[in-house]
Amino acid sequence: MANVYVSIGSNIERELNVCACMQRLQQDFGEVQFSTVYETPAVGFESEPFFNLAAGFTTTLTPNEVKHYLHALESTHGRVRNDAKFSARTLDVDLLLYDDLNLQPSVNLPHKDILTYPFVLFPLAEIAPGVLHPELKRTLADLAQTSSLSAEALRVVALDCPPLTLQTGLLTAE
């Protein structure tokens, strides 16, 4: 089983999409650890603020299968893909870490956003403080404590997610 960490974000029907994503991850992977949910301003474009968090779980899926699963999860929740890197999203779920794999530069793993955006680094360090960044060989807690990124724009929010409802899963390889 591999330890996997992902980032989750939404700024279109934020609570609905984030809650649905959290429920689906729990349904498909069992025990999932979630960080605090934060409201953060949109970065790189003018739009409504995002809800962002990190999640960790174990899986037998390969990194490519996890990415395929996350892509399908986004699509199921109405994600519209366009050429703009920075745009409003119903759901954005990115694979941040997969065990201690370092597939840079051919694959964005560990994900570069960990060191680029506070709404990725700080929630991830919250749920996985002792995990080593595969490229830098430093713990996520250390990276968060010594980062020049500011957590000031992260505002804690409480979600009112409905209880888990069973649906047909997106998994095909587990």
SS3 6: strand
What secondary structure letter does DSSP report for 160?
A: -
| Side-chain half-sphere exposure of 53, counting CA atoms within 13 A | 23
Highest mean pLDDT among 34-48, 71-85, 145-159: 145-159
Residue range 145-172, pLDDT digits in tens? 999 999 999 999 999 887 655 444 554 4
Residue 57 has pLDDT above 70, yes or no: yes
Do you find a cis peptide bond into 105, omega within 30 degrees of 0?
A: yes
Residue 90's φ and ψ, nearest 5 degrees, are -70, -40
What secondary structure letter does DSSP report for 139?
A: B
* Predicted TM-score of the model (pTM): 0.90
Q: How far does Cα 87 stand from its chain's mean position?
A: 17
Query: Quick one: pLDDT at residue 81?
Result: 66
> Which domains occur in the chain, in start order?
2-157 (3.30.70.560)
163 or 143, which is more confident: 143
**Exposed, middle or buried, 91 (CB in 10 Å: 0-12/13-18/19+)?**
buried
